[in-house]
Amino acid sequence: MDIVLGLQWGDEGKGKFIDLISENYDIAARFNGGSNAGHSIERNGKRITLKMIPSGIFMQDVQNVIGTGTVLDPVSFKNEILNLKKFDETLKPEKNLTISKKAHFVLPTYKLMDVFMEENPAYTTIGTTKNGIAQAYSNKILRQNVRIGDMYSPDFQERVAHILGRDYQVLSEGGMELPSLESIREEFFDAVEFLKQFNCTETELFLNKALSEGKTILAEGSQAALLDIDHGTYPYVTSSSTTASGACSGLGISPKKIGEIYGIAKAYCTRVGNGIFPTELFDELGEEIRTKGNEFGSNTGRPRRTGWLDLPALRYAVMINGVTQLVLTKADVLSGLKSVAVCTHYELEDGAIETNAGTLPENAKPVFKWLDGWEADFSVMKDSSALPKELKEFLVFLEEELGIPVGYLSTGPGREQILKMK
């Protein structure tokens, strides 16, 4: 099993890369998260954003799996499938998509609770995507949730109605304006009926059987290392395991089966939502990168915060994931800048130096190295030998600093805009 992971705060370009390389695999499997993800893919000049559906879905010969470590909102899933079919009428996701029976449901009141907590001053505001992700995972941990396989049980409706009614009461007592309980219940059960046309199975058995038959699996991460529930910038994180080990637990596959671990990183940093961001740019250049890089959330449309590449954070992400190859995206966005900064380390208050930082220290000073900028027409670049000398030097610098090779350089949002480097 090979794994694709985000190494920063999400939106590094995982979807685009997976769409491209999944054709080399038999199976593409999402292992964490839910509809909080937004993986944008450009095909034939058209653009689509996938939230829950694995990015291998366009390859009809690739079997796609929504794994056990995910949380699935059937209402959002139904919309996504309908949207996908509009995008490409030839696709038949009922045939090449399988869902884990052990994945957990996101119920409609979880989304309402997410909004309630984000807007209520009694709670820390995280800046979530309001998809009910934390509520689904916390109910899972509390062992109060329903799983996909439960939808076949005779008491499913009753169990869900009980949870909805209980949450609804808490929210209305909290003073939240709510849609009618009847309407959310109806919408949910209607979407569950839609979900039943998909194959729902013990995906652990399916995946391990496939491996024993010599088939290949590409695991697709959503979110990224710095948003990981354990290793990210807590509490401003998501609620799932976004790392390589999360791929193993989320899919039920042994760590012994891992091959390549592709880590995706932008040539700069972005972040949506709240939380520390030491290299953030607040000036015109930050705005320019946002505009040129189209840095607006694929999922919520929120403007992404922008800043320089952060090596201490990236070293940490490479370390905890055991990344074997870096896939660098969006260097084209920085094209035309005279010089480009990279944070090489932090200086702490007591003068100590931090070069590998998962817990980014609040008042640490990022220290930057300035490198020569590059300029090129990336829209026509077909060969790495045509890369400008300054960008080649930038890549060598990253390889030396991170101790891993740059395997691919993405040169634009389009499917074909990628260079294999090694």
Phi then psi dihedrals of residue 233, to 5 deg: -85, 65
Cβ proximity to ligand GDP: between 96 and 223 the closer is 223
Q: Confirm or reject binding of residue 407 to ligand GDP (CB under 6 A).
A: no
By CB under 6 A, what part of segment 31-50 binds ligand GDP? 38-40, 42
- Rg of the chain on CA atoms, in Å: 21
What's the CA gap between 369 and 313, in Å, rounded? 15
Residue 235: asked if its preceding bond is cis (omega within 30°), the reply is yes
Active site residue 39: yes
Q: Confirm or reject binding of residue 129 to ligand GDP (CB under 6 A).
A: no
CA-based nearest residue to 397, from 342, 333, 331, 323:
342
By CB under 5 A, what part of segment 291-310 binds Mg ion? 298
CA distances (Å), origin 220, targets 4, 69, 250:
5, 12, 11
Active site residue 167: no
Contacts by residues 136-145 (CB-CB < 8 Å, ≥ 24 positions apart) = 136/34, 136/71, 136/73, 136/104, 136/105, 136/106, 136/107, 136/110, 136/239, 137/71, 137/104, 137/229, 137/239, 137/240, 138/239, 139/104, 139/110, 139/163, 140/71, 140/104, 145/104, 145/105
By CB under 6 A, what part of segment 3-32 binds ligand GDP? 6, 10-16
3-class SS string, 120-165: CCCCCCCCCCCCCHHHHHHHHHCCCCCEHHHHHCCCHHHHHHHHHH
State the nearest-atom distance from the C-beta of 358 to ligand IMO, in Å: 16
- Out of 19, 26, 39, 104, which one is annotated catalytic? 39
Q: How many CB atoms lie within 10 A of CB 279?
A: 21
- 220 binds, options ligand IMO, ligand GDP, Mg ion, none, Cβ within 5 to 8 A by partner type: none
Stretch that binds ligand GDP, among 62-70, 273-281, 382-390, 406-414 (CB under 6 A): 406-414
Binding site for ligand IMO (CB under 6 A): 6, 9-11, 36-39, 126-129, 131, 133-134, 222-224, 227, 236, 238-239, 272-273, 298
State the nearest-atom distance from the C-beta of 225 to ligand GDP, in Å: 12
Per-position x/- string for 254-293, each x denoting binding to ligand GDP as judged by CB under 6 A, each - no binding: ---------------------------------------x
State the nearest-atom distance from the C-beta of 159 to ligand GDP, in Å: 33
- 128 binds, options ligand GDP, ligand IMO, Mg ion, none, Cβ within 5 to 8 A by partner type: ligand IMO
Cβ proximity to ligand IMO: between 53 and 391 the closer is 53
Tell me, what amino acid is at 371?
L
Check residue 295 and report its DSSP letter. -
**Interface with ligand GDP (CB under 6 A):** 6, 10-16, 38-40, 42, 293-294, 298, 329-330, 332-333, 410-413
Catalytic residues: 11, 39
